[in-house]
Every structure is written in structure tokens, then in C-alpha cells.
Structure 1
Amino acid sequence: MAVCQHFHTTESLSDSLNASALPERNDQKLTCVELFAGCGGLAAGLQLAGFEHSCMVESNPVACETLRRNFRQSRSGSHPLVLEQDVRTIQWGDSGEVALLAGGPPCQPFSFGGLAEGKRDSRDMWPEAVRAVRELRPRAFLFENVRGLLRPSFAEYLDGIVNRLAYAGGQRGHKAPLYNVAVVLVDAADYGVSQRRHRVFIGGVRADCGTLRPFPAPTHSFRRLVWEKWVSGTYWHRHAISSPESHTPTRIEQSILRKLRDTGLEPQEGAWGTCRDAFAGLGEPMHGSNPLRHELRRGARQYPGHAGSPVDSPAKALKAGAHGVPGGENVLVDSDHSVRYFTVREAARLQGLPDSFIPSGSWSEAMRQLGNAVPVQLAEVAGRWIRSCID
């Protein structure tokens, strides 16, 4: 899927995140304040991109417990402050120099699974994001939300958000925008995440601090996955499946396969990740509790319009709402057509979190946190994008 971008411009994991499971980060650190931090998916990716969190704000007590549990101390020795607080009660005046303000304002006002009432929804926190930019005047900001924000019915509201962010922090009566702003629609699967997760990033760079560049191009594709499954066979070899004849291409895969065979050209990008890729080495879920939270949970079933995720495809977007916890999604469909719920560990892997990352709370609370998270790989790409603009 192509990256969709819109620009509004002027002229111009901590030690508790398994270091072996995460790429090496840049040495130079830039201070980050994060709003609506959730369980820390965005934070983990931004840390990989070289940002150092000084503060994480989250109002949900269980999510705050997850943050404290998994972001105890950064490699430079600093300790992120976790504020268990409603962001509306915070005054940002004395926060010091901030390189990046980040966060994912609640998506329910704009999501397909929410009430879609936009600014009429009491959970709409975009005004607080704008206020934080105005008071902190960071060198850059990066906000994430659902693609429902791009609905035509919200076009006027989105334009208002972009305009207020562009002028946030400027002097009264100042006519030129203070920030260059871009709105970018991406699919996480195009960047190495084993999940089809369409998300919107709204990124901004202060005009006196850098130049806003285009969002990085996709690095992975469905075409490559089809090639590895049905042309080279490397997908099945990788998983020690000796008889792919027992598996058949889907209708969409058959269409792409015909085109690949017609051209004979091998796609050079990476392959979309699948559930089987993400869960490699985990084994079957266990009965009872275990340290990895890879525990079998019974009772999964599918509903019309809410089917599960086939094991040899990228997962559908993890859900945090009624359909996902505990509805007909967040469900794995195995090659024998049996279904079961994702375990907490599987959901964490689908979000790019290492096995050392343990969410707090019950199964439903943990799944809700993970369903709201930004995939780590995608957050790192977005973080490196912003960092390249302000370096």
C-alpha cells in the first residue's frame, strides 16, 4: 500500500526491554514527553529511534503499572517519570526543553468501532494535544490515530487540528505558521509488522529547527509474501513445513501470483510478516499461568463480519474495543480451521514487543492495552523520520 501524505508547511525500552530483541539505538538522545502513553508501544519505538523519555502521561492505572514495570531505567541512566494523571490537569510551563512531544490521543471519537462523534465526544483529546504543543513549544511533535480520522465527515475537524498545530506556540498576531505539519496514512504491515494496521501520523517540525521530509517509503509487501509462499517456497522452508501442497493460495494470492508469473520479476522488498512468523518458537499455548503470559484461553468463536486472522497471513488489526475483547476478533484461525484467542504474548509479539515485556492486569486488560498500542517497528520508523527532520 502506498504511503498517503498531506503537508501543511511554511517555506520551507528501557533495560527491561530485551536488548537482544531490539535493534541498536542511536547514541545521541533527544528528550521526549509522551501523552496518552498507554502500555508503551510508541515509547519503545521512539527509544529505538534515539529519543529519551523524561515523562509519560497516562490516566489508566493498569497501563501505568505496565509502564513502570517495563520502563524502569533507560540505558543512559535516566528514569522516565510516569504521571498517572488526566492530561487536562497538567500545566506544561516548567517542563524545560523538549525535543519531541508524542502521543496517541484516544481514538474512539474517530474509530470505526467507536461512536464516531468526533469533537462532540468527551474523549476527544486533540485540544489537549494542541495545548501541550502551545505550552511546551517542542522542536517536533508526533501524534498517532486511527484512519477513521480521515473520514470525509471529519475533514473540517482534521483541517482545524492541523491548522491549530501549525500555529501553536506562535506569538499573538504572528501570521506565519510556527510548525510544518504532515498527515500520513500508513499500513504497519508495509514496515515489517505482522499485522494489517492502518494508522494516521500527524507529525510536525518547528520551522526554526529543521525541514519536514516525506515519510519513509514502505519496505515490505504482500507481493513478496506471495512470492515466498508460492514461487520460491522459502516461507514454508523457514517454518519447516515440508508439504505446502496441503495449503492453497487465497483468491487474492492467486491474482497476485498470476501477475508475478507473467512478469517473472522477483520482488526485492521484504515480505509481509504473518502470524506464523510472529509466533515462531513460542509453541502451543499453555494451560494455567506462565511467566510469558502465553496461556490458552477458551471460548473463541467468529461472528459475521468479524472473522479471525489466518495463521499464514498478517493478523488483522488488534482490537481494544467490544469486537476484540472478547468478541469475534483477536482470534487466530489455524491451518486446520480451528480457532482460539491470541494469547497475551502473541498479541505483544504482533505489536513488536519483546518477550521481556510483560503487560499488567487481567487477560482482557492486557489485551485492551496491547490493542491500543502502536507497533514498535512502525513507531521506530516514525521516530527516525521525525529525528531526520530535526537533526
Structure 2
Amino acid sequence: MAAHDYPLIYLEAKMKSAELFAGCGGLALGLSHAGFKHSYLVEFNKEAVSTVLHNKHKGVAHIRDWPMHLQDVRDIDWRSLGALDLVSGGPPCQPFGIGGKKLGQNDQRDMWPEAIRAIRETKPRFFLFENVRNIAGPRFRPYLDWIIAHLARPDIAREASESHDEHRVRLLGSGSAEDYSVIWQLVNAADFGAAQIRHRVLIFGVRKDQGVYPSPMPATHSRDKLLWDQYVSGIYWDRHGLKKRYTATMQQDQVRVDRLRYLGVEPAGLPWVTLRDALKGLGEPNGQRNHVLQPGAKIYPGHTGSLLDLPAKALKAGDHGVPGGENMMVRDDGSVRYFTTREAARLVGLPDDYEFPGAWSVSMRQLGNAVPSELGAVSGQWLKQQIGSPKSVASMRRVA
């Protein structure tokens, strides 16, 4: 066979991406796993940037290749980055969170206009943004509607004297074609393989010239499959070398378990990842590599900790209420203790060689703000499936 007759093998080209508000890297790591190559990562928090750079210098997989920048997004000329496949990020959620003053778009920390400017200046093939689910609630839903309308037509900027509602009406009535097809979706990170119950709003956008309208992302994991494994087949307990037991939530799940037994059909997909699953093999705190005991955990009303046989409650950044928020586990004997930084990192989907050089409180704040990497990975793969992965001529090779 002549060389020119060899069949072509197309190697998938890495998609070029940039991320705003990268934090300690949860979303960025997930997108790296999904095959994206970050050409620019930016974060304003010094401790988070220090954490990423610490792991970059350590040579941690994926992180070692990240071009991480300590910078205010308002100072960036996004046009200088050139062509991008993806822009991603999680604008600060504090203006829209359950705690705090709930000032929304009137909070100086609201960076949604900057996220939209990044889309306007880079015009990527697609984008992915995330935020707290409260932004989809009654108080902030009009602002979410403005965000969606503006992302669809990012070139039509809001005038200084124009309210967000007035601008949204102008956007929708402009008669100009949309630049992006945009949808938003409320998700639970546990439904996508994360070991924590974390409800978020995801916003997907695809440039119109791609000829694709994005559809909602289907769940990959479920509570029903976990209940099946625990109370029908029992393989969950076998996997952990434990006798079958009933969890503290079994009473509220009894109707669902009875229904599963009655139907006798194993649910499709994968089971929720429990706290016990996520921490398997780690053992009790040993003082090594961020696995350090943090004393002082206690139960009181509204602060009860995470059960081992369910996904953990959402990690808290600790900005409101008690330090560490709900960041503790309930052990088999009923005692409680705070998560170590290492354990919390596992709940975010960070590898065990990813280290946090700062204090526990500083590290937990970063982890509480992080997007679980599993959610980022599934979201990235979903976008690629929607639009199709480009094949690079430069990456083609021939095989005999």
C-alpha cells in the first residue's frame, strides 16, 4: 500500500476556550476533562489565583497548562484573544444568593454585564455560564430574562439612561436577528455525578451560524438508581463492605422504594454519588496533604451536617452564618466533624494531588464557591455533542 493510500485518522482538535471568574478551577477542570484547551483564565480573588498557580507549578494534570491571570474582568480587552470556541464562567453569585442583601443588578459585584461584554467582543461559537438558582426565582427572574435576551443579541448594548426592563423590551422588539440561540436550565449537580446537592442555573448559548438550537442537558445520575442500589439490589452496601442498613432518610424515601420494588425495573443511568462513595479510601484525617482535622463541629437547629449515604449538602463559602456553614459530616456513630479541605476538594471533583496552600477557612471559601468539576465536564461534553467537534487538518495523521 502506498503512503498516500493510507486511511486518514482524524484526531479531535482541542477546542479553544476562555473562562471568566475561574475561582479555584472547578468548572475549568471539568471543561478540560471535556477536551477544551483554556487559552485564558481570569480571577479577581488573590487566594484563589494563588491556589491555582500553586498547583500549576506542582505540575498537576490539566492545571499545569492553564494560563491563569489575577485580573479584574473590567480591564480586559477580549478582542485580543482572537477566535474562541467557548467562553465560560460563573459571575459572582453573592448579589443573587439566599444570604446577604439581595441587591441583584444594583450590587456593585454584579458582573453579568461583563460576561455579556466578553461574548460581544469574542463572539465564540458557544458559551456556558452558571449561577445560583435564586437568580431564576421571582425576585430576580426579570433580570435573568434580561440576561438571556442580551446574550442572544450582545451587540445591542444598554444605554446609560435605560433600565434593564426597557432594554429587554428594545432587544426583543429590535427586529434584528439573534446572534445566539440561548437557553437556561435549572440543574442539581448530583444529577450529573457530583457528590453534593448543588442547585444551579446553567445558561447555554450557541452562535446562530452553527445551525444548532441547544436543548436541555439530560441527567446522567439519579436518586432512584441510588435507592435501587441501596434497598432493592443491595449492591451499594456490598461495594462498601457493609451490612444493609436503613439511612436516616429512608422514611421519606419509602414510597419511592416501594414503587421501585413494585415496578421491578432497574432505573437507567447511574446512581447519585454519595458522600461515602466520594470519600472512599481516604480514611480519617491524618494531617497530610490538606487532610487535617478542623475541631469545633456541632449540631444545632438548621445546622445538621451531611449524611454519608447521600450526596453531601452544598458546600458553603462561609460568608454568612457560622464559619464553614453546613460543611460537616455525620459519621456512622452519629458524631459530627467538619470536612477537611481534602474531603471538600473531593466533593468538588478535584484530584487528591490538587493542594490548597491557604488556611482551612480560606480554602473552604474557595471550595464553597466552586462549580463541581463533574458538572463542568458533562456540560462541556453536552455542548460538543450539540454542535459537533471540529477536526483539525493539522492534527490528521495516516496509519497503515
Q: TM-score, normalised on structure 2?
A: 0.85
Q: Secondary structure at the match of 2:134?
A: helix
- Tell me if the contact between 1:139 and 1:390 (Cα under 8 Å) persists in the aligned partners: no
Larger Rg: 2
Instruction: Say yes or no: does 1:47 pair with 2:48.
Output: no
User: Using the alignment, how far apart are the partners of 2:13 and 2:256 within structure 1?
Assistant: 43
Q: Secondary structure at the match of 1:53?
A: strand
Distance 1:246 1:316, change over 3 A: closer
**Structure 1 match to 2:8:** none
Greater alpha carbon shift after TM alignment, 211-220 vs 181-190? 211-220
For residues 69-84 of structure 1, what are the structure 2 equivalents within 5 Å? 69-71=54-56, 79-84=65-70
Deviation at 1:79, TM superposition (A): 4.1
Question: Which amino acid is the alignment partner of residue 270 of structure 1?
Answer: L
Distance 1:202 1:248, change over 3 A: closer
Q: Secondary structure at the match of 1:240?
A: coil
Q: TM-score, normalised on structure 1?
A: 0.87
**Structure 2 match to 1:16:** none
User: Using the alignment, how far apart are the partners of 1:264 and 1:281 within structure 2?
Assistant: 33
Q: Secondary structure at the match of 1:294?
A: coil
Cα displacement string for residues 336-361 of structure 1 (whole angstroms, at most 9, x for unaligned residues) = 11000011111111111111111231
For residues 62-101 of structure 1, what are the structure 2 equivalents within 5 Å? 62-71=47-56, 79-101=65-87
Cα displacement string for residues 304-362 of structure 1 (whole angstroms, at most 9, x for unaligned residues) = 22321011111011111335762440110112110000111111111111111112311
- Tell me if the contact between 1:170 and 1:177 (Cα under 8 Å) persists in the aligned partners: no
Distance 1:105 1:328, change over 3 A: closer
Question: Which amino acid is the alignment partner of residue 288 of structure 2?
Answer: N
User: Using the alignment, how far apart are the partners of 2:83 and 2:342 within structure 1?
Assistant: 37
User: Using the alignment, how far apart are the partners of 1:127 and 1:378 within structure 2?
Assistant: 24
User: Using the alignment, how far apart are the partners of 1:185 and 1:121 within structure 2?
Assistant: 23
User: Using the alignment, how far apart are the partners of 1:355 and 1:388 within structure 2?
Assistant: 29
User: Using the alignment, how far apart are the partners of 1:255 and 1:192 within structure 2?
Assistant: 24
- Tell me if the contact between 1:210 and 1:389 (Cα under 8 Å) persists in the aligned partners: no
Deviation at 1:90, TM superposition (A): 1.5
- Tell me if the contact between 2:204 and 2:214 (Cα under 8 Å) persists in the aligned partners: no
**Structure 2 match to 1:137:** 123
Instruction: Say yes or no: does 1:254 pair with 2:254.
Output: yes
Deviation at 1:165, TM superposition (A): 0.8
Question: Which amino acid is the alignment partner of residue 231 of structure 1?
Answer: V
**Structure 2 match to 1:13:** none
- Tell me if the contact between 2:19 and 2:88 (Cα under 8 Å) persists in the aligned partners: yes
Cα displacement string for residues 222-275 of structure 1 (whole angstroms, at most 9, x for unaligned residues) = 11111111221111111111x334756622222211212222222232111111
Cα displacement string for residues 61-93 of structure 1 (whole angstroms, at most 9, x for unaligned residues) = 111112223345798999432220111122222
**Structure 2 match to 1:290:** 288
Deviation at 1:32, TM superposition (A): 0.7
User: Using the alignment, how far apart are the partners of 2:226 and 2:18 within structure 1?
Assistant: 37
**Structure 2 match to 1:364:** 361
- Tell me if the contact between 1:275 and 1:312 (Cα under 8 Å) persists in the aligned partners: yes
- Tell me if the contact between 1:49 and 1:380 (Cα under 8 Å) persists in the aligned partners: yes
**Structure 1 match to 2:227:** 226
Cα displacement string for residues 108-161 of structure 1 (whole angstroms, at most 9, x for unaligned residues) = 111112322111111110011011111111111111111011011212111111
Distance 1:215 1:71, change over 3 A: farther
Greater alpha carbon shift after TM alignment, 77-86 vs 367-376? 77-86
- Tell me if the contact between 2:25 and 2:52 (Cα under 8 Å) persists in the aligned partners: yes
**Structure 2 match to 1:164:** 150
**Structure 2 match to 1:9:** none
Q: Secondary structure at the match of 1:319?
A: coil
User: Using the alignment, how far apart are the partners of 1:375 and 1:149 within structure 2?
Assistant: 19
Instruction: Say yes or no: does 1:350 pair with 2:347.
Output: yes
Deviation at 1:31, TM superposition (A): 0.9
Q: Secondary structure at the match of 2:96?
A: coil
Q: Secondary structure at the match of 2:210?
A: coil
Q: 2:17 aligns with which of 29, 32, 44?
A: 32
Greater alpha carbon shift after TM alignment, 268-277 vs 67-76? 67-76
Question: Which amino acid is the alignment partner of residue 296 of structure 1?
Answer: L
Deviation at 1:296, TM superposition (A): 0.9
Instruction: Say yes or no: does 1:175 pair with 2:176.
Output: yes
**Structure 2 match to 1:115:** 101
Question: Which amino acid is the alignment partner of residue 154 of structure 1?
Answer: F
Distance 1:195 1:141, change over 3 A: same
User: Using the alignment, how far apart are the partners of 1:170 and 1:209 within structure 2?
Assistant: 21
**Structure 2 match to 1:375:** 372
Question: Which amino acid is the alignment partner of residue 191 of structure 1?
Answer: F
User: Using the alignment, how far apart are the partners of 1:100 and 1:140 within structure 2?
Assistant: 5
**Structure 2 match to 1:155:** 141
Q: 1:322 aligns with which of 319, 325, 329?
A: 319
Between the aligned residues of both structures, percent identity stands at: 50
User: Using the alignment, how far apart are the partners of 1:76 and 1:221 within structure 2?
Assistant: 29
User: Using the alignment, how far apart are the partners of 2:53 and 2:321 within structure 1?
Assistant: 26
| Structure number with higher helix proportion | 2
User: Using the alignment, how far apart are the partners of 2:228 and 2:85 within structure 1?
Assistant: 42
Question: Which amino acid is the alignment partner of residue 127 of structure 1?
Answer: P
Question: Which amino acid is the alignment partner of residue 102 of structure 2?
Answer: A
User: Using the alignment, how far apart are the partners of 1:272 and 1:201 within structure 2?
Assistant: 20
Distance 1:301 1:130, change over 3 A: same
Unaligned runs of 5+ in 1: 1-25
